[in-house]
Structures are given as structure tokens and as C-alpha cells.
């Protein structure tokens, strides 16, 4: 095990990003999953975490947190919200993407990400269906979204984040030179369980590793 216990890492670095936003991912209300999906779409762009968070909070303050609400707000209204959050560099492109994605979600899955999950054949199909909602949803966004649903959605099994991999190696949870992300993920799950933690909380550990990975990357930046 690494120099710091997994549960202690979560306490020091923080767990799920969704929880920090006040989103209750395990709640019966499917709108909670959409709120996190909206956040993942924002975090997935080449923009700082703080600006993406601030932009999501602008959507929250204005009560635009459902696919129907986003469609009703319209392109110009979305640009206003994105600009208010500091998302100006990507405002036009992101407004278009949000509208396209939400229209597809309403058309194909009655506006419910839970329905999308239920009809997916397996984890790979789930990822492909999310990407198919609109141009611009890539592996990064899908990974961000599904990582925090691991243990909540049965088919949410994304690959281990490269940032989590880097942090886990630096902290001694993984052997240096490890290459296989599937084996790495399995080992981290065993470490989490050996630390006496519930399987449903593993996503908090993974998110804490991502946070640590981001910290390490900032430290190494020239």
C-alpha cells in the first residue's frame, strides 16, 4: 500500500467532483445524473477546473439543469450563461454542443440518461451511446462522467484515468513501470477494499487520485 491510506487520501484531496457540486448521484431522481453530465461536458473542454465549476454554478443559479431547460434556454441564452461563468473562449461551440446533445437525449431517450444506461448492452455500448449524443463528446468527457458513476450504474466501467494512474504510481499504490490500466484498476479496488471501504465509494478514491494527478501535473509544468 502507498504512504497514505486510500481513505485518508480522499479526506485530504476530496472525493467525487459531483458531491462538491452538491449533486446526489445515487439519488432516485434521474435529474441528478444529468446535472453531473452537464458538469462533465464543461470539465471535458480545455479550460481550467475552476472556470468549469464556476460555469456549472451559473447554470445552477439560473435553474438550467435539465435537458428540457437547456433546450428552452436556446443558443443565445446559453452563450450568456457560459460567458458569465468565464467560458467565453468556447461559448459559441459549447452552446451548440449542449443544444445538440440535449435534443438527442430528449428525442432518443425521453431526456433520461438512466434510460440510456438501461438500454445499453454493456459498458462499451454505454460509452458509444453517450458519444453518439453529439459531436464533441470524446473519451475525456465520457471518462469524467462515468468515473463518478462507477458503483452506481452497473455498466459504468470506464478505463482508469491517466491522471489517476500517474498519481497512484507516485503515491506507491502501483508499481513503477506498470502499464496495464485494467490490472491497475483491479489493484486499486483491492487496496480500497483492504482499507475497509465500501465498493460503492471507490469512485471517491479514484476522483481523489485524479485530483492528486492534476496537482502533480501542475507542479511539473514549466
DSSP characters over 174-198: S-TT---HHHHHHHHHHHHHHTT--
Cα 100 to Cα 113, 124, 127, 133, 137, distances in angstroms: 15, 22, 17, 7, 11
155: in domain: no
Looking at residue 178, its pLDDT comes to 77
Mean pLDDT, rounded, for 147-176: 95
pLDDT in tens, 5-47: 999 999 999 999 999 999 999 999 999 999 999 999 999 988 8
CA distance 114 to 34: 9
Same domain membership, residue 78 and residue 179: no
How many structural domains are present in the chain?
Answer: 2
DSSP assigned state of 153: B
Q: Count the alpha carbons within 13 Å of 71 in the hemisphere toward its beta carbon.
A: 12
Q: Which of 97, 116, 147 is the last residue of a domain?
A: 147
- Model confidence at 222, in pLDDT bands (50, 70, 90)? low
Of the candidates 108, 140, 116, 127, the residue with the CA atom closest to the CA atom of residue 41: 140
Q: Does residue 154 surpass a pLDDT of 90?
A: yes
- Model confidence at 87, in pLDDT bands (50, 70, 90)? confident
CATH assignment at residue 89: 1.10.340.30
Please check whether residue 136 is in contact with residue 93, taking contact to mean a CB–CB distance below 8 angstroms: yes
140: in domain: yes
Looking at residue 85, its pLDDT comes to 93
CA torsion angle 57 21 219 213 (round to 10) = -140
Q: Which of 84, 116, 147 is the last residue of a domain?
A: 147
Please check whether residue 156 is in contact with residue 188, taking contact to mean a CB–CB distance below 8 angstroms: no
Average pLDDT, the chain: 94
Looking at residue 121, its pLDDT comes to 98
Domain that holds residue 170: 6-16+160-220
Contacts of 44 (CB under 8 A, 6+ apart): 137, 138, 140, 141, 144
Q: Does residue 89 surpass a pLDDT of 90?
A: no
Please check whether residue 54 is in contact with residue 85, taking contact to mean a CB–CB distance below 8 angstroms: yes
Same domain membership, residue 111 and residue 190: no
pTM of the model: 0.94
pLDDT in tens, 55-71: 999 999 999 999 999 99
Same domain membership, residue 194 and residue 179: yes
Same domain membership, residue 125 and residue 28: yes
Same domain membership, residue 171 and residue 71: no
Contacts of 163 (CB under 8 A, 6+ apart): 209, 210, 213, 214, 217
Same domain membership, residue 143 and residue 81: yes
Same domain membership, residue 207 and residue 169: yes
Mean pLDDT, rounded, for 113-132: 98
Q: Is 156 left (phi over 0), alpha (psi -120 to 50) or beta?
A: beta
Same domain membership, residue 67 and residue 172: no
Q: Which residue has the higher pLDDT, 220 or 98?
A: 98
Range name among 31-45, 52-66, 82-96, 131-145 with the lowest pLDDT average: 82-96
Looking at residue 210, its pLDDT comes to 96
Looking at residue 53, its pLDDT comes to 95
Same domain membership, residue 187 and residue 95: no
Amino acid at each position: 500500500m502507498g504512504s497514505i491510506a486510500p481513505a485518508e487520501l480522499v479526506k485530504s484531496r476530496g472525493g467525487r467532483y459531483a458531491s462538491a457540486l452538491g449533486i446526489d448521484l445515487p439519488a432516485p431522481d434521474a435529474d441528478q445524473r444529468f446535472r453531473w453530465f452537464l458538469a462533465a461536458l464543461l470539465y471535458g473542454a480545455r479550460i481550467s477546473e475552476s472556470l468549469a465549476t464556476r460555469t456549472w454554478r451559473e447554470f445552477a443559479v439560473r435553474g438550467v439543469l435539465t435537458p428540457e431547460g437547456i433546450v428552452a434556454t436556446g443558443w443565445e441564452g446559453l452563450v450568456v450563461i457560459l460567458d458569465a461563468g468565464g467560458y467565453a473562449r468556447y461559448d459559441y461551440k459549447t452552446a451548440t454542443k449542449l443544444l445538440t446533445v440535449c435534443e438527442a437525449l430528449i428525442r432518443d431517450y425521453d431526456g433520461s440518461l438512466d434510460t440510456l444506461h438501461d438500454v445499453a448492452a454493456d459498458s462499451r455500448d454505454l460509452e458509444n451511446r453517450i458519444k453518439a449524443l453529439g459531436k464533441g463528446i470524446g473519451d475525456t468527457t465520457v471518462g469524467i462522467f462515468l468515473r463518478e458513476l462507477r458503483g452506481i450504474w452497473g455498466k459504468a466501467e470506464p478505463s482508469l484515468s491517466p491522471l489517476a494512474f500517474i498519481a497512484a504510481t507516485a503515491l506507491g499504490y502501483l508499481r513503477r513501470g506498470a502499464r496495464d490500466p485494467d490490472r491497475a484498476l483491479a489493484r486499486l479496488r483491492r487496496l480500497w477494499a483492504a482499507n475497509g471501504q465500501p465498493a460503492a465509494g471507490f469512485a471517491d478514491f479514484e476522483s481523489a487520485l485524479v485530483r492528486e494527478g492534476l496537482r502533480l501535473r501542475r507542479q511539473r509544468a514549466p
